[in-house]
Amino acid sequence: MSVLLAPPTATSPGQGALSTAAYLRIASLSIAAYDFILTLPAEYRLYKSSDRKSLGLVLFIIIRYLSIVAIVVSNVGFFYHGFTPKSCDNFFYVLPVLKVLQMMVSHTILGIRTYNIAQRSVWIGRTIASAAFVFIAIEWAAALANRIPQMTNGNCMIASSHPLWPLSTWSFALAAMLYDCLTLSISTYYLLKLRSAEASAASGLVKIRERHEHLLLSKHRSFDSIIWCIARICHHMDHESTHSHSRTGG
């Protein structure tokens, strides 16, 4: 396989772009390392509290450490300047393969989450599985088709062998974002539907409570009325008895 050699000089226009890319990579590496260290205690607690054979824990481990491997491999290819054309020819496919595998795990996690939120609807499961199959196929094609190694000052990156090839980095990102938007839309719809159902149930409980309180209040008032009537009858009977006794005594 031919290797694209593009060694820029100090005055080359590509040198500025490489410097900007290097700074951005260093910044992203710093953020990733900070996030990894920051979440280590939570990861340890998750290991202790979860079943080691649970699907959620397995997917968490795979996506976490596969992402780390992909970041490390990408930056080795960019910052290491000791590649030969032969070693770069053997190395340059590693990163796109890792990137697609990482995306497949991410799609699996989002698909399972959406399927569970949709109350395991059969047609939702089939829709998600079909969409995942289509988008993953596009991602594999965008990552691997018409690709050649590119060396700049001894590093090893990947480039397109044909400038008009429609499937490139942007199409890979577009396919991933479309799948994310699909699962997010389905999840949002079912969460809003569940929230509406819970609000209706809560409203029904409030109405039942108000009705119950009204019945209790009505019973209380009826009881008060009965007591008041008995008291009036007793008072009337006492008054009649006193009046009769007065007439008898007179």
pLDDT tens digits for range 102-118 = 999 999 999 999 999 99
Residue 243 pLDDT > 50, yes or no?
Answer: no
Query: pTM for this structure?
Result: 0.69
What values do phi and psi take at 127, rounded to 5? -65, -45
| Sign of CA pseudo-dihedral 194, 200, 202, 205 | negative
| Residues 34-85: tens digit of each pLDDT | 999 999 999 999 888 888 778 888 999 999 999 999 999 999 999 998 999 8
What order do you get walking across the sheet with 147-151 strand by strand? 4-5, 147-151, 157-160
Is 153 strand, coil or helix?
coil
Q: Locate the DSSP E strands across 139-208.
A: 147-151, 157-160
User: Measured in Å, how far apart are the chain's first and last C-alpha atoms?
Assistant: 138
Calculate the average pLDDT of the chain.
78
| Residues 166-181: tens digit of each pLDDT | 567 788 889 999 999 9
